[in-house]
Each structure stands twice: as structure tokens, then as C-alpha cells.
Amino acid sequence: MKSNAEPRDPNYEARCRASFDAQRMMKTLGAEITKIAPGQVEIEMPFQAEFTQQHGYLHAAAVTAVLDNACGYASSSLAPPNASVLTVEYKVNLMAPAVGERCIARATVKRSGRTLTVCAADAFMLKDGAEEQVATMTATMMTIYRKEVQHDP
């Protein structure tokens, strides 16, 4: 994963990984950050039957979870040290049934502003060594500077 973006926080990777590790949801899904660069994040999670819908595919919400976080940490990788990133909204198109061994979400920052960041992400299922795209997300993220944050520890 290569990126031309310049991080404002040289410690961005450690900061993003610490925040990711604080998400119980990611642990529950068995998800992990597999690549991170300024403005780009890849997250993988295994297929698990606990998160399937009625046909045995991964539920759209499980795929959405890793798409959302890939966008969130891609945005966060460009944020200053004293900032938090919140999801404002996202839109997901489901393109194929989510079957396979692993789900991979890859996000890129399309525009990074002081307050709002626009990200795009694609989700793929890895099956028998081949990837198939199963979903795509566009997301708007908001950077909250520390003094404004009221619900952070």
C-alpha cells in the first residue's frame, strides 16, 4: 500500500492501532488492520457463521463494520495527534453474496478537509485464493479536535 499523503501525526499508525484495539466490535468479529499508510487502510476478518444472514452469507452489517472502520482509520491516519474521527454517514452497495474464507476491506481517503473527510472503500471475499468484490462504500468522516470532544475519556 503506497500513499502520497503526508501524515500530520508521525505516530499515526500506533494511534490508529490503539484505537482499533479498543473496539470490542472488531475483536468480536476477529478483524485486524492488515495494512496502514497515510490515507489508506486495509482490514481483514475471517468468515464466521455467527455473523451470517438467512442464506449463510456474511450479513451486510458485518461487511459494513470493516468497511466503516477502514474508512474511519484511513481518515484518522491523516488527522493530527489530538483529534478523534467519527463517522457522519455512509452508503453501501452490496454487489455479490459474501461467501468465502475471509473478508477484506480497503479504504482510501478521497478528500481530506479540516473538519470533513470523504473516503471510498471496497470489500472483497477471498475464496479459494481469488478475490471477488462484494460491496462498496462511500463515507463521510468528521474530525473532532480534542477540546471539542466531550465524550472521550
Q: Minimum distance between the CB of residue 112 and its own copies, rounded to whole angstroms?
A: 10
- Binding segment for its own copies (CB under 8 A), chosen from 7-15, 33-41, 101-109, 112-120, is 112-120
19 to 38, contacts with its own copies by CB under 8 A?
19-20, 22-25, 28
Among 61, 82, 145, 146, binds its own copies (CB under 8 A): 61
Among 11, 14, 53, 82, binds its own copies (CB under 8 A): 53
Residue 3 as a binder of its own copies (CB under 8 A): the answer is: no
Residue 46 as a binder of its own copies (CB under 8 A): the answer is: no
Dihedral (CA of 94, 95, 101, 107) sign: negative
Among 6, 10, 128, 152, binds its own copies (CB under 8 A): 152
- Binding segment for its own copies (CB under 8 A), chosen from 6-14, 38-46, 114-122, 123-131, is 114-122
Write a three-state SS string for the chain: CCCCCCCCCCCHHHHHHHHHHCCHHHHHHCCEEEEEECCEEEEEEECCHHHECCCCCECHHHHHHHHHHHHHHHHHCCCCCCEEEEEEEEEEEECCCCCCCEEEEEEEEEEECCCEEEEEEEEEEEECCEEEEEEEEEEEEEEEEHHHCCCCC
Q: Minimum distance between the CB of residue 28 and its own copies, rounded to whole angstroms?
A: 5
Residue 5 as a binder of its own copies (CB under 8 A): the answer is: no
